[in-house]
Structure 1
């Protein structure tokens, strides 16, 4: 099985970082956000237990860092029950193959994301013209080719449940990618949103470096379906989340989150969609 596992030919380390890189935040007692350079991974599960799940797999060449974070939180030689992918972009699967080989655990993603995770279809090339921001201008160097996880990748359950995450359900939130998902827990209004929307202006190098908090749509340079992206944000806002962890940026909670989401829904075209596409 292992010889099937491979990254795309354009897989490489990307020298982009932020002031939050290497910093973890215990958002809730069972949810821990850790920033790998410019992207967040999420660990579900209380510390020192063996009932935990990794959501997303960081930047390229970050597997060792992720392993260290996991062992620090859950103990030596600990491994998750599963890895859940919100989607398959390079900055969310950057350490996935090394983690699969180390842990031998199943990986789950939406069925519409599987072509990009089984070597069958490349993502569209990133579009640097969406913004004058330097991260957007760097985006042509970002990997976009399909990776192949072979038999390790599984479809998310059709009933909407999330493996090994009781109380959570997955929600299809396409736009950024065809099979993008977000995870929601009704009981306390917790939303793990991936890149359906983010809390930093991801196209701007300065704002990424400083992690200046502001509500924003999905990263523009990789988003292909803006109509679907808007519908996904409307769908998520209707859940009235109380806590949000995004793929990029700091968590948002309470009134700040409610107001920010209201603003994003009502002014999505201005805030989220590149000017040239409005």
Structure 2
């Protein structure tokens, strides 16, 4: 895992044991050098990028990532519009802060993910779980390799917290429904878009939002 300095976004490189191919999950503004270091150290072959949602802090590294590795990009269908003008999908305060970072931005081609869709790549099975609330297209990514599973939660669930719902496209009722769905998932490790990892069971018993 590497973290982008801008808003401290976690960007992940994931591979199945015994495979050289790997996927990236999320692509913060300055994460490409860290991912490149991991790729070189582990002798990985990047195969795809999966985005947990379309907020700028999770996507603005795509230009640099895709210039290094020509791989497909997957994003929840309802968030695809956010790639067209990233800064304009947040509050005016954030938009002004982001403006210098989106100069020269060009939205890449993406493959839409819908609820319960599975993608098999790099020896992994990735299942999309629609989890709106933080954004319309927020997606939990259930990643399985053999008998092991991890869930990449983006900005839906953090260790001890959940994602905010007061930005454009946020919806408290949708978030509540997504949290109810999260509570039905198996007790496996989770890896959020910000901060440390946790487990589903630990969050259900300690996170005040459950």
Q: TM-score range by the shorter chain?
A: 0.7 to 0.9
Residue 201 of structure 2 corresponds to residue 243 of structure 1: no
How big is the shift at 1:176? 0.8
- One of 54, 77, 90 as aligned partner of 1:111: 77
Q: What is the rounded CA distance, in whole Å, between the counterparts of 1:240 and 1:159 in structure 2?
A: 16
Structure 1 moving runs of 4+ over 6 Å: none
Task: Give the root-mean-square deviation of aligned CA atoms.
Answer: 3.0
Any unmatched runs of 5+ in structure 2? none
8 Å CA contact 2:11–2:25 kept in 1: the answer is yes
Residue 110 of structure 2 corresponds to residue 162 of structure 1: no
- One of 4, 25, 34 as aligned partner of 1:65: 34
Q: What is the rounded CA distance, in whole Å, between the counterparts of 1:167 and 1:243 in structure 2?
A: 16
- SS at structure 2 position matched to 1:82: strand
Q: Which residue of 2 aligns with 1:94?
A: 60
8 Å CA contact 2:140–2:154 kept in 1: the answer is yes
Task: Within 5 Å, give how 1:169-180 maps onto structure 2.
Answer: 169-180=127-138
Q: Which residue of 1 aligns with 2:153?
A: 193
8 Å CA contact 2:54–2:82 kept in 1: the answer is yes
Deviations 1:76-125 (A, max 9, x none): xx441110011121221131111112111110111111111234993131
CA shift in 2, pair 1:61/1:42, >3 Å: closer
Q: Which shows bigger deviation, 107-116 or 239-248?
A: 239-248
Q: What is the rounded CA distance, in whole Å, between the counterparts of 2:12 and 2:163 in structure 1?
A: 18
- Tell me the matched-pair count: 201
- SS at structure 2 position matched to 1:190: strand
- SS at structure 2 position matched to 1:183: strand
Q: TM-score, normalised by structure 1?
A: 0.62
Report the structure, 1 or 2, having the larger strand content: 2
Any unmatched runs of 5+ in structure 1? 1-32, 128-138, 200-214, 266-278
Q: What is the rounded CA distance, in whole Å, between the counterparts of 1:36 and 1:119 in structure 2?
A: 21
- SS at structure 2 position matched to 1:143: helix
- SS at structure 1 position matched to 2:176: helix
- SS at structure 1 position matched to 2:177: helix
